[in-house]
Chain A
Amino acid sequence: MLRAASFIAIIHIRRTLRIVAALGLFRAIFLLMLIIFGFISTLRPGMLPLQAALILSLIVQAHLTRKDHNLLTSLSLNKPAFFIIIYSLITSPFLLLYLFLRDFNAFLILAGGLVLVALFNKPVNFRKRKFHISFPFIPADAWEWRAGLKNIWWVLILTWVVLVSFHRHYFLFAGSIIVFSLVAAGFQMYHESLSMIRALGLNSRQFLIRKIYLQLLLFLAIVAPAMISSMIIHPEGNTAMLMVILNSLLVQAFAVSIKYAGYRQGQHTQYQMSVIFLLNIAFAIPVLLPLPLFMLAIYLRRADLQLKTVLYA
């Protein structure tokens, strides 16, 4: 199994290099710089667990959205032991670094997380709930929100309950905005059918503006109670709260842009949530502060081009 895991890990590394090469020289250098800056800025004491959590989030997303169950089952490799070995091999430089720097929290987050995620070796099928809430007041062209809220309205309710119960803790308000931001950005992960886009009868630019407007409006609607309560209860944290809100709004616009920049009918954006997670915490890491704005500018243009391509194909 070690031989098989090593071999498949090498194939994954080769594929990744091909994907990076396909980005072109400028984008590849930009990506490399981002990774190096991100890596260096999270090398400071106390930041390594955050780095470990970020790496783990990439692995978790790749693992839960993988489609190679049948391929690996046909090779008798769809087993937790295989995933533990392959993920350990891929993340071994980081695991060794954490041991060398004696940051056992970071080591345990990454190593423990890998073992836990490896236990899920069947396709993830979320149970269909019998109890459904519909949201007819949400505009019909915000279909991601109608479908998304139907599935995870309980996360929002739970977050509000936690906020009300522990309203004395300021950091929970900022944390809840980040949770809402992740949830709302997650709605944009899956690509709708082309006929739905065409049905609106808008050109690429108008469509993009409409989708970003809806995303920002609906995001503000769900965070408004937490935002206003925080400003009243904890006025000393208004500046920080403002930073979190602004950053989250940029992230929401980016989530729409990245979706349509790589739009392919019926597909989903690979690694979207990992990028969104990184951007969501950008306000806490100085070197990453301008990143959401920068990424938004790049992907907005690409989204417009991609939509033009698919709409007029």
Chain B
Amino acid sequence: MLKLEDLCFGYEKAVVINHLKWALEPGKVHGLVGMNGAGKTTLFNILSGMLVPQSGSVHFCDQPLNPDKCAMMETTPFFYPMISGKEYLEIFRLKNPDFNIVAWNSVFHLPLRELVDNYSTGMQKRLALMGLIASGRALLILDEPFNGLDFEAVRIVQQIIPALAAKGKTILLSSHIPESLTSVCHTISTIKEGKIDFTLQKNEFGRLSELLDSENKIPDDILQNLN
């Protein structure tokens, strides 16, 4: 169980995470939806150890969360210039020697001997996802994983993520497009003003549009008067 209690974080005077409480079951995929600037990436950076919360606690399996348990894939993954795909993955094998690059690449189909600089955006994202899997961590965080992915890569992600969760990993992924999460997630939560606004279980996903539209619906008269 990943448990966030009374978490607070802000930049200067701007409060981004405001007494946030959230409990996530292990072995499941949890989606997080929020507007731009709602605090999704900040929350993920806190969980991955990149930022230190100003107050509150994060517990994973009843222990304070150790960054060694967590790996994160950024929205725009970083690669060292002039590094090959194979070299990038070999870095992850330092911590997880059992990761079989050849076997996993039969799923991802990447030209691993080529330099990452020559990869397309989608290929870079696939490589970053392979790196995330190669890290072998129990808590995996994916920030906007579907951005820039082609159709084939989206299908790969949609199959792999639930399979990893079934092996006991806790997976947390974000999107600002709620519909992109319904096919992979067991729960979807929304973050608003630094707090978890509501959480829906898989059988309640049908209510997602209704709940989101209740606040963001454009009045009919404006829509009718559009040129």
Contact = CB atoms under 8 A, between A and B. Distances in A.
B83 interface: yes
Contact of A75 (B50, B87, B95): B95
Secondary structure of the A contact surface, majority rule: helix
A128 interface: yes
Contacts of A8: 91
B87 A14 contact: yes
Contacts of B80: 11-12, 15, 68
Contact of A74 (B12, B48, B81, B87): B48
B150 interface: no
Interface in B179-215: none
Interface in B109-153: 115, 131-132, 135, 137
Q: How large is the interface on A (under 10, 10 to 19, 20 to 34, 35 or more residues)?
A: 20 to 34
Chain A CB within 10 A, most for which of B87, B131, B132? B87
Contacts of B82: 15, 18-19, 22
A18 B82 CA distance: 7
Contacts of A15: 80-83
Q: How large is the interface on B (under 10, 10 to 19, 20 to 34, 35 or more residues)?
A: 20 to 34
A53 B132 CA distance: 38
B50 A127 contact: no
B178 interface: no
Nearest to B66: A76
Interface string A105-138: 0000000000000000011000110000000000
Interface of B: 12, 48-50, 67-68, 70-72, 74, 78, 80-83, 87, 90-92, 94-95, 115, 131-132, 135, 137
Which 7 A-B residue pairs are closest in the complex by CB-CB distance?
Answer: A74-B71, A18-B82, A15-B82, A76-B68, A67-B78, A4-B94, A74-B135
16 contacts: A11-B87, A14-B87, A15-B81, A15-B83, A19-B81, A68-B80, A69-B50, A70-B50, A70-B74, A73-B50, A73-B67, A74-B70, A74-B71, A75-B94, A76-B67, A122-B50
